[in-house]
Copies of this chain bind each other. A is one copy, B any other.
Amino acid sequence: MRPFKLAAKENKDKNTIIEINTPGSRVYIGEGYCTIIAGPCAVENRDDYIKLAKFLKSAGVHMLRGGLFKPRTSPYSFRGLGREGLDIMVEARDITGLPLITEIMDVRDLDILYDSIDVFQVGSRNMQNFTLLDELGKIDKPVLLKRGLSATIEEWLLAAEYILKGGNEKVILCERGIRTFEPYTRNTLDIGAVALVKHLSHLPVLVDPSHATGKWELVTPVAKAAIAAGADGVMVEVHQDPDRALSDGKQSLNMDNFLRMMKELQKLATIENKKIDRD
């Protein structure tokens, strides 16, 4: 017997499909959809973010990502614009109609972010921040739960269980690579875990090929692999000028490469019978 209950497939009559509505769009995540979330690692300044958001809208993206409060290994690295960046993201949503996702690290930020953010992301370092999971179990907004760097599949689903048990049924899982001995890639995407979690759970599963590989050249093949293995979408990092990004430049697609990836995913979504076009 698996120790997770509410997250288990056998305890729900059908797979969870999450609907996210903004004045300008309706987005679905789950069975039958291929949802694309894109944006820069961190919101760096207003003009670049707005410009990129418009581009992403035109390229067919469903949701905008952007880091405001960045978890950084070193205290000397750029840690995000914080609240100031939030206004920029909200403006991007007003213009594009696309819903917003950002990472939450501190339970005390929930009040600031709650009315503005459509989906809350729990980063891999916080997958077992049970304090945060407890709070996110009480809200009525979707939570994207990234797998921890060294979390087993069971621990990942039990972290989801914390949120579900609190009463929030809108949990999206996101595989973003695990830590192994391999130094050529930033992490090792566990593609078998994607397929297995689709068997074990009714929850939607996305893949983040940017963090998983750490190399932009690998983002498109790995994103394709994710969809072929059954993932319900991908979340990728895009930047106008990756060489000048304040963080994660090496793993960010530029606009041209992003468009190429979208074309590839569209072909794949077609043979997999997943809807990738926005309503």
- A residues contacting B by CB (< 8 A) are 3-4, 71-76, 105-108, 125-126, 128-131, 149-150, 152-155, 158, 161-162, 165, 177-185, 188-196, 198-199, 212-213, 215, 217-218, 221-222, 224-230, 267-268, 271
Contact = CB atoms under 8 A, between A and B. Distances in A.
A184 B155 contact: no
A218 B196 CA distance: 7
> What number of copies of this chain does the assembly contain?
4
27 contacts: A73-B128, A74-B158, A75-B130, A75-B158, A75-B162, A105-B129, A105-B130, A105-B131, A106-B107, A108-B108, A108-B131, A125-B129, A126-B129, A150-B179, A152-B181, A153-B184, A178-B180, A178-B182, A180-B188, A182-B190, A188-B192, A188-B193, A195-B217, A195-B222, A196-B213, A222-B229, A224-B228
Given A3-B74, A184-B152, A222 B268 contact: no
A195 B218 contact: yes
Nearest to A159: B73
Indicate the member of A130, A183, A215, A228 with the most B CB atoms within 10 Å.
A228
A181 B4 CA distance: 19
Contact of A218 (B3, B192, B228): B192
A229 B182 CA distance: 18
B213 A192 contact: yes
A104 to B, nearest CB: 10
Contacts of A177: 192
Contacts of A128: 71, 73, 125
